[in-house]
Amino acid sequence: MEVIEEVRQLRAQLLRWNKEYYQNDEPSVPDSEYDRTLNRLRALEEQYPDVFDPSSPTQRVGAAPLSTFGSVEHRLPMLSLDNAFNEDDLHHFHRRVCDRLKRQTMAYCCEPKLDGIAVSIVWEQGRLQQAATRGDGRSGEDITQNVRTIDSVPLVLSGADYPDILEVRGEIFMPRAGFETLNARARSSGEKTFVNPRNAAAGSLRQLDSRITARRPLDFCAYGLGHRESKSTLPDEHSAVMMQLGRWGIPISTLSEVVLDAAGCEDYFARLSTKRDGLPFDIDGIVFKVDSRTDQTQLGFVSRAPRWAIARKFPAQEETTTVRSVEFQVGRTGAITPVARLDPVFVGGVTVSNATLHNADEIDRLRLKVGDTVIVRRAGDVIPQIVAVVADKRPADAQAIAFPSCCPACGSAVERDPGEAVWRCLAGLVCPAQRMASLRHFVSRKAMDVEGLGEKVIEQLVERDLVKDVADIYHLDASTLESLERMGPKSAANLLQAIDSSKSSTLARFIYALGIREVGEATARQLAAHFNTLDALACATEDRLLAVNDVGAVVADHIRYFFDQAANQRTIQRLIDLGVRWPAPQKVAEGAVLAGQTWVVTGKLDGMTRDEAESALRALGANVASSVSSKTTCLLAGAGAGSKRTKAESLGIAIIDEARFDKQRKTWETA
Ligand code: D41
């Protein structure tokens, strides 16, 4: 075959795969094949420089650094958005629209307002030609090189009927999962972290060296049109135009909807509000747009904001407050975590009065002192974080924070492993904080599930030395329990009953309850299914442990270490002697539909909880693991699936959504 023809075919193939991947979310080839094809194309392009094409799928790695960004004048100004701060503002907006157009009712397109950077991207003859920031709305900076590195922005449009010149406006943003990974990496190498995904996206776009941008997990979503030159016309509805952009391969929001009147807008706002935390990206509100472009033109704009659109903001996910003190908590494994006590502040939909500071390095990195004014961020279901100190609000009497040199609970030595950021108390179960935490864990719902053994009881049991090791709870009697504060004969009897019931457990729960470092519920289940008996697990070599799904070198090491401790062996033996037992694990029926498969469930499901989905999968014979690896067969991804989805995609692992799973399940269960 002629080189030029092979190059053409390779590029077309890669383009099709890109579209499948970014648009339909359904890659038809594993990553390995994609990479092989891309490498072949790269090799040919290197060998035959004549076939160079700036729109080739190989051209995403960034280019030589610029010395400065050029300036781009927008052919049509990029307008700004008016804000509606409450329902009243939204009703006034709707009234004004209807009055001006002398209409009774109006259709609006509702879109999530992505918290990113507004940009303009121009395709000429279907090829990405130019990208610019919004700037002041009249002119912005030329960021073409940077935007070319964003995988979801097509270098070449799909189809054939696109305009000769097509300018699209949209937002460049960083999905939460990518942001967390980027910051985690920066944190562990002691570099500066980004305050939020928006700043990270802005910082990534500001790079004069587009090779840096290429390594940042940026994404794009279109929200409107700019200048166009075309022989054909586009549909009149904004919503239909967006669908058309989608068919040309340009990413659009999958969450937009057309609704009627202010009531429809309110309803959409309420529904999206409940979804906000589960979305894979930050949104700061909803944009409502008159859907008819004819009506839009008639409405026009005032002082650079259209009369036909309005943004209704969500409550902020970042607020400022003051750090009152810093306390040091000792966890089950001895890890010492600094926690900031804050003046309560309403952020991300809840009142926050504590924020984790992770470890000692984090305090240094933030240069935090007690008394500082700080920016607290709570987005999604991520625990509240202090993202920055407001330096110029530091009071004169701000106190430096001294990380404790010994355990704040028991006074024993603390230590940190080389390469680890976490300091640990080495006293083990001698330390009351660790004893309390391990008891809390042992009786928790997903472990031994002792109902009614709450925080106050646990505190008293440990403080009075009634429970020195978790097995001691099976020695407790009525008179001991009744001697505790706020414990009458009735509740003591109930608690004894609950303690007794918990003896009948499962191997997986028992393994989880032991509290081995890094062995969560899912890993415990894998271990139980793999080894069948506790003895087999307890004497498994590192190699045999590594054969289990979910188990890597670090986890294997922790498991080995745990069972090698004589004290742990004694506790286990005592628990068994005191009557803790579990049925011999059942072997999955021979020929079960999903036998031999390993599934992972992630994201928010609509029709069932994740636990229910996992039980259903197990009943069908599947192994359920907690993390995606090359051993995974399939990922069941609900709304807001983040890093696990990305990982599955990068490994070329099958992904199915809840709707398809439901359908499949019915056929499997009747099989
Ligand atoms: O998602 C967004 N951030 C978004 C921004 C959106 N969905 N729609 C938008 N629509 C407009 C108009 C109505 C002016 C075309 C916008 C923006 N503007 C916008 N973003 C930044 C400044 C203006």
- Beta-carbon contacts of residue 638 (< 8 Å; ≥ 6 apart): 601, 602, 603, 604, 605, 606, 610, 657, 658
Sign (positive or negative) of CA dihedral 183, 186, 189, 192: negative
Rounded Cα distance, 72 and 522, in Å: 53
Distance CA 41, CA 141 (A): 32
Indicate the pLDDT class of residue 670, thresholds 50, 70 and 90.
Answer: confident
Instruction: Quote the ligand 1 centre to 82 CA distance (angstroms).
Output: 10
**8 Å CB contact between 575 and 504:** no
Q: Are 128 and 143 in contact (CB under 8 A)?
A: no
- The mean pLDDT of 629-654, rounded to a whole number, is 86
Residue length of the chain: 671
Q: Please name the residue whose Cα sits nearest to atom 19 of ligand 1.
A: 80
Ligand 1 centre to CA of 293 (Å) is 15
Across 450-460, average pLDDT: 93
Determine whether the shortest distance from the Cβ of 282 to ligand 1 is under 6 A: no
Confidence of residue 594 (pLDDT cuts 50, 70, 90): confident
Q: Is the CB of 622 under 6 A from ligand 1?
A: no
Comparing C-alpha atoms, which of 580, 597, 579 is closest to residue 588?
A: 597
Confidence of residue 156 (pLDDT cuts 50, 70, 90): very high
Reported as a pLDDT band with limits 50, 70 and 90, residue 514 is: very high
Pocket lining: 27 vs ligand 1, CB cutoff 6 Å:
no
SS (H, E, C) 83-133: EECCHHHHHHHHHHHHHHHCCCCCEEEEEEEECCEEEEEEEECCEEEEEEE
Residue of 603, 601, 599, 600 lying closest to 641 (CA atoms): 603
CB–CB of 11/41 below 8 Å?
yes
Give residues with Cβ within 8 angstroms of 428, minimum separation 6. Answer: 334, 434, 567
Closest ligand 1 atom to 308 CA: 13
Could you tell me if the CB of 79 is within 6 A of ligand 1? yes
* Contact call for residues 470 and 442 (beta carbons, < 8 A): yes
Lowest mean pLDDT, pick from 361-370, 433-442, 645-654: 645-654
Residue 26: pLDDT band (50, 70, 90) is low
Q: Quick check: CB of 306 below 6 Å from ligand 1?
A: yes
pLDDT tens digits for range 217-235: 999 999 999 999 998 899 9
In this predicted structure, the answer to whether residue 612 has a pLDDT above a threshold of 80 is: yes
pLDDT in tens, 277-311: 889 999 999 999 999 999 999 999 988 899 999 99
Rounded to an integer, the average pLDDT of 625-649 is 86
Residues 6+ apart with CB under 8 A from 158: 15, 19, 247, 248, 249
385 token code pair: 């974080």
Q: Which atom of ligand 1 is nearest to the CA of 116?
A: 3
Q: Which of 481, 482, 461 is nearest to 471 (CA)?
A: 461
Q: Which atom of ligand 1 is nearest to the CA of 289?
A: 13
DSSP reduced 3-state for 321: strand
Which DSSP category does 473 fall into?
G
- The answer, yes or no, to whether any atom of ligand 1 lies below 6 A from the CB of 507, is no
* Cβ of residue 496 lying under 6 Å from some atom of ligand 1: no
Q: Which residues contact 81 (CB under 8 A, 6 or more apart)?
A: 287, 305, 306, 309, 310, 311
Ligand 1, atom 8, residue with closest C-alpha: 223
CA of 223 to the centre of ligand 1 (A): 6
Residues annotated as catalytic are 113
Q: Select from 81, 269, 313 the residue to mutate for testing ligand 1; criterion: most ligand atoms less than 8 Å from CB.
A: 81
Q: Which atom of ligand 1 is nearest to the CA of 169?
A: 15
pLDDT over 90 percentage in the chain: 68
Strand partners, 107: 260
pLDDT at residue 616, as a whole number: 86
**Among 114-128, 144-158, 187-201, 490-504, whose mean pLDDT is lowest?**
187-201
Do 78 and 122 form a contact (C-beta atoms < 8 A)?
no
DSSP bridge partners of 355: 340
Which of 93, 268, 287 has the most ligand 1 atoms within 8 A of CB, as the residue to mutate? 287
Q: Does residue 484 register a pLDDT over 70?
A: yes
Are residues 22 and 151 in contact, defined by beta-carbon separation less than 8 angstroms? yes
- 657 alpha carbon – ligand 1 mean position (Å): 29
Burial class for 349, CB neighbours closer than 10 Å (0-12, 13-18, 19+): middle
Strand residues in 299-436 grouped as ranges (E): 301-302, 305-306, 309-313, 318-330, 336-347, 350-356, 373-377, 385-389, 414-415, 424-425
State the distance from the centre of ligand 1 to the C-alpha of 289, rounded, in angstroms. 10
Residue 80 CA: nearest ligand 1 atom is 23
pLDDT of res. 24: 62
- Whether residue 81 has its Cβ less than 6 Å from ligand 1: yes
Average pLDDT, the chain: 91
Tokens, residue 574: 């005592």
What value does the mean pLDDT take over residues 357-364?
Answer: 90
Can you give the pTM of this predicted structure?
A: 0.69
The rounded distance, in Å, linking the Cα atoms of 455 and 468 is 16
Residue 630 reports pLDDT greater than 90: no
Residue 80 CA to ligand 1 centre (angstroms): 7
Contact criterion met (CB below 8 Å) for 322 and 343:
yes
Q: Is the pLDDT higher at 532 or at 111?
A: 111
How many C-beta atoms lie closer than 10 Å to residue 401's C-beta? 20
pLDDT value, residue 587: 60
- Looking at per-residue pLDDT, the higher value among 10 and 303 belongs to 10
Decide which of 109 and 32 is more confident. Answer: 109
Residue of minimum CA distance from atom 23 in ligand 1: 80
What amino acid occupies position 227? H
**Which of 187, 215, 214, 216 lies closest to 199, judged by CA?**
216
Confidence of residue 589 (pLDDT cuts 50, 70, 90): low
Which own/partner pairs from 546-554 qualify as long-range (CB within 8 Å, at least 24 positions apart)? 549/598, 549/623, 549/625, 549/629, 549/631, 549/632, 550/522, 550/523, 550/526, 550/625, 550/626, 550/627, 550/629, 551/523, 551/526, 551/527, 554/518
* b/e map 231-267, b = 16+ CB within 10 Å: eeebeebbbebbebbbebbbbbbebbbbbebbebbbe
**471-472-475-481 Cα dihedral, nearest 10 degrees:** -130
Distance 424 CA to ligand 1 centre (A): 48
Per-residue pLDDT averaged across 26-49, rounded?
A: 85
Q: Is the CB of 287 under 6 A from ligand 1?
A: yes
Type of residue numbered 519? V
Strand partners, 515: none
Please report the pLDDT score of residue 490 as a whole number.
Answer: 95
Going from the Cα of 202 to the center of ligand 1, the distance in angstroms, rounded, reads: 16
Q: Is the CB of 223 under 6 A from ligand 1?
A: yes
DSSP string, 269-296: HHHHHHHGGGSSS-EEEEEEEESBHHHH
299 lines ligand 1 (CB under 6 A): no
Q: Are 146 and 131 in contact (CB under 8 A)?
A: yes
pLDDT at 226: 96
